Amino acid sequence: MKTRRRFCKYALGTAIGLAAGCRSGTEAKTVVRQTNDPKEGVVPVILDTDIGDDVDDTWALLMLLRMRQFDLKLAVGDFGNAIYRGRLLAKLLELTGRSDVPIGIGVDKADEPGGQSDWLGNYQLQDYPGTVHEDGVQAIIDTINGSPEPVTLLCIGPVPNIAEALRRDPSIADNARMVGMFGSIFSGYDGAPEPVAEWNVRIDPRSLQKVFAAPWDCSITPLDTCGLVRLSGSNYQEIHASDDPWLEALIDNYEVWLPGATYMDPSTDTSKISSTLFDTVAVYMAAELDLLEMQDVPLRVTDDGYTVVDEVNGRIVHCATGWKDLNAYESKLTQILLG
């Protein structure tokens, strides 16, 4: 796979120009050094993620690590299969030189094969040179309570960990805000005109009900915005053709994940277009909102996983319901990932 992809990269690099598509190994290493210093971060962040299911979480993690606005304090795998998710987080963080970031193991300690297991290989948690917290929920609580500044809790998967953290210590809502990828308000997948029960909500609505009930500030990107993001054309070619080891790992993960993603078109060409990059929009929202149309919407999470507008019983959630400029976001995402 690696040999085939390297051949394709050089062919693509010729087609789009070496200046746009490739960087020397020396330059790639410089990029890693420039983005590895956690002291450059401004906003303390905890990432709660179901990484290892849809590959968009991997895109979101690397985007987060590239952004100097953030200081990633903790990364925790959520929604079951916690050891597998922890191993994947650990390997990616070590690869990017960020083993200073502690990893938390979520409430379900399973280690079943997942969509990115072929890339993960035999990498184990004990291989990680950084800190691994066996009780990831307690690590979330301790990190929030120990922070001198309010923490941004970035949730890009179902949230049983967060619901459990609130059950153990409701006061964490006093020193955190929640930014996440959840729901479908006015439109569904791929811009469909009818809202749907979006996966992160539908699979565990009770946990999100508890998260929305907490007295912290909540902001979300529903399918109305995040469901429209895919990289293609010159944006994607720059990433696919890059010699940056971060982006090589990203594309390798995409390639091993795609065949097992039954909801994807099997004819998708990984050399030309990404999958839908839902979770990257939540990362962007944690830093700025310039390219998004925002509405304060009274939302209620139904027991069957819908996020419905309810003027009587809903709680106000800051919702990204439209794009001011989607093309500009996709270009920005590309430049962030390129470092």
- Determine the average pLDDT of the residues in 164-183: 98
Give the C-alpha separation, 56 to 72, whole Å.
18
List pLDDT tens digits, range 192-225: 999 999 999 999 999 999 999 999 999 999 999 9
DSSP state of 319: E
| pLDDT higher than threshold 70 for residue 183 | yes
What angle, 0 to 180 degrees and rounded to 10, lies between the N-to-C axes of helices 25-35 and 245-257?
Answer: 90
Distances (CA, A) of 279 to 12, 118, 139, 144: 27, 22, 23, 22
Residue 4: what pLDDT?
41
Residue 254: what pLDDT?
98
Mean pLDDT lowest among 32-41, 71-80, 272-281, 312-321: 32-41
Amino acid present at 266: P
**CB neighbourhood size of 68 (10 A):** 15
> Predicted confidence band at 250 (pLDDT cuts at 50, 70, 90)?
very high
Give the C-alpha separation, 59 to 249, whole Å.
10
Residue 252: what pLDDT?
98
| pLDDT higher than threshold 70 for residue 318 | yes
Structure tokens at 17: 């120009």
Query: Which residue in the block uniquely carries the two structure tokens 């062919």?
Result: 11
Residue 42: what pLDDT?
84
Residue 266: what pLDDT?
87
Residue 2: what pLDDT?
41
Mean pLDDT lowest among 28-32, 92-96, 134-138, 231-235: 28-32
- Determine the average pLDDT of the residues in 10-30: 35
Residue 149: what pLDDT?
96
- Determine the average pLDDT of the residues in 260-288: 96
Please give the domain boundaries of the chain with CATH numbers for all domains: 2-338 (3.90.245.10)
**CB neighbourhood size of 290 (10 A):** 11
Residue 32: what pLDDT?
36
Burial class (CB in 10 A: 0-12, 13-18, 19+), 226: buried
Least Cα distance to 21 among 325, 329, 247, 330 occurs for 247
Residues 6+ apart with CB under 8 A from 314: 297, 298, 299, 300, 308
Residues 6+ apart with CB under 8 A from 242: 9, 21, 22, 23, 28, 248, 338
Judged by DSSP in three states, 198 sits in: coil
| pLDDT higher than threshold 60 for residue 14 | no
Residues 6+ apart with CB under 8 A from 309: 185, 297, 298, 299, 300
Question: What is the pTM assigned to this prediction?
Answer: 0.89
| Whole-number percent of the chain with pLDDT over 90 | 87
List pLDDT tens digits, range 223-238: 999 999 999 999 999 9
> Predicted confidence band at 101 (pLDDT cuts at 50, 70, 90)?
very high
Give the C-alpha separation, 185 to 221, whole Å.
10
Residue 18: what pLDDT?
35
- Determine the average pLDDT of the residues in 163-182: 98
HEC per residue, 209-247? HHHHHCCCCEEEECHHHHCCCCCEHHHHHHHHCCCCHHH
Give the C-alpha separation, 67 to 2, whole Å.
28
**Count of alpha carbons within 13 Å of 92, Cβ hemisphere only?**
33
| pLDDT higher than threshold 70 for residue 130 | yes
